[in-house]
Amino acid sequence: MKKFFDRNNFVLAKQDGKQKKQSVIVMAAVIVFFILSAFTFMNFLYCLSDCIGSIVCSSADVALRDALRSCPIFLSFFLTLSGLMVAHTFYRNESPVILHKKAKKHTAIGIVLGALIIVYVIVMRIAGKYLSLVEGAPSPIYPLDSVLYALLFIVLGVLVMLFLKKDAASQLFCGPSRAPLQKKGRGVRSVFRTFWLLIALYGFCGFFYSFFIVDFSIGYVPYSIAMLLVSFVACLTLAVWELFYNNLTAEKRKEFTLPLAVISLGVSVAVTVFYFLALKGNLDGPSNVGFGLLPVAFSASVNFATLIVVIAPLIVSVTALIRGLSRRKHK
């Protein structure tokens, strides 16, 4: 196993207790913030889709009114994302200098966003735009829940800042570490990873919600299963990439790129084909069981939005395949 991974991951047997503990905490934080990000992203998509719906129907004034009311929901997603970025910076831990710089940046963004949410809600309440601090919808205590959520993140942010300050003086953090990323093509990779992350966040939430909101009893079973698989694969590809592939040694990466790409491509193609076959059998499936999971699809009145989710793992697989083949060629 030691040969397999090039980082002080918790999978290594020879970690001391403190390192192991920090590794587990960091991993748990990444997972928790990923899940929170996924749920806040779904809320974000729901609010956004409704606003898009109003704009598409030539009611920009209604879209603006709704966006102003739901601004804390939009900001809560970015707030949670900043938490995920902080946790991921610790998880990645390219070097103490980079860790400190990036973690401070993301934490500061989180604290500012949190403060912004609180100020926004107070101003809107004073202006009478919110009838009460517990006006209700989409939760029973909205917008107070946004304020409490923001407060929690501010407290967490302050704690992280204090930790970073202490760490700079006495090197408290000894969790996992990984070689710095290549600078070449960093911008393009960053854009693609952001897109991929969003798809994976959607995938996780779509997969989770599909168990609760998809009606398997009214004759859309193949389409429902297809939606479930599409969501799952969108999330799975990122998990495999981030939790497995990125932890491999450089040597093992070269070895694993091609087989992983082939497996990933096979799974992606199979799911895509299954999706279209299911759609062929349930042509009214998206409208009857799919759009609750894919709000953007219906608000834009188009049928192909699911393809974005289907295609993301395909693009990743094809890119990995090209890279794997090219590495084999240059061997």
Partner 1 sequence: MKKKPFCFVSAVLAVIMILSLAGCTAPKKYSEHLNDYVFTARYHDNFNILQLTDIHWNVNTSTKTSMNYLDKLFKEVSDHLAATQGEGAKIDLVELTGDMFMLANSYHLNTFVDYFEQKAEEYGFIYAPIWGNHDRHSLYHPNELAKRFKNAKHCVYFEPSDDLYGRSNYVINLTEDGTKNSSVAWMIANLDSGAAFSETELSVFRDYDYIRPEQTDWFIAEHALAGENVPAIAYYHIPQDENEKAWKAVSEEGADIRNKFFRLEEFADNGNEKYASDFIDRAKDHNLKAAFMGHAHNVDWTFEYEGVVIGLGVKTGPELYFAHIDVESDDEAMQAGLKSVGITENFDLIGASLVTLTGRDGSFDLEHLYFNERKDGDFAVWVKW
Q: Do residues 77 and 37 lie in contact, with contact meaning Cβ atoms separated by under 8 Å?
A: yes
Nearer to partner 1, 279 or 320 (CB): 279
d(CA 263, CA 247): 18
Decide if residue 140 touches partner 1 (CB under 8 A).
Answer: yes
- Considering only 13, 126, 127, 137, the residue that binds partner 1 (CB under 8 A) is 137
Decide if residue 51 touches partner 1 (CB under 8 A).
Answer: yes
Nearer to partner 1, 244 or 304 (CB): 304
Residue 327 CB partners (closer than 8 Å, separation 6+): 254, 257, 258
Which DSSP state fits 172?
A: -
Backbone φ and ψ of 248, nearest 5°: -75, 155
Nearer to partner 1, 6 or 145 (CB): 145
- Residues of this chain, 286-325, that bind partner 1 according to CB under 8 A: 286-289, 291-292, 295, 298, 301-304
Decide if residue 69 touches partner 1 (CB under 8 A).
Answer: yes
- Residues of this chain, 117-136, that bind partner 1 according to CB under 8 A: 130-132, 135-136
Element holding 127 (H helix, E strand)? none
d(CA 170, CA 164): 10
Decide if residue 283 touches partner 1 (CB under 8 A).
Answer: yes
Nearer to partner 1, 86 or 124 (CB): 124
d(CA 269, CA 275): 10
Nearer to partner 1, 53 or 175 (CB): 53
CB of 210 to partner 1, least distance (A): 11
Among 17, 153, 14, which residue's Cα sits nearest to residue 77?
A: 153
**Which of the ranges 10-18, 112-120, 193-201, 220-228 carries the binding residues for partner 1, by CB under 8 A?**
220-228
d(CA 239, CA 236): 5
Q: SS3 of 81, please?
A: helix
- Considering only 209, 241, 245, 256, the residue that binds partner 1 (CB under 8 A) is 209
Decide if residue 53 touches partner 1 (CB under 8 A).
Answer: yes
Nearer to partner 1, 142 or 196 (CB): 142
d(CA 236, CA 245): 12
Lay out the site mask for partner 1 across 74-103 (x = CB under 8 A, - = otherwise).
------------------------------
Among 121, 34, 118, 123, which residue's Cα sits nearest to residue 81?
A: 34
Decide if residue 222 touches partner 1 (CB under 8 A).
Answer: yes
Q: Which residue has the tokens 């991951």?
A: 9
| Residues in binding contact with partner 1, number by CB under 8 A | 59
CB of 246 to partner 1, least distance (A): 22
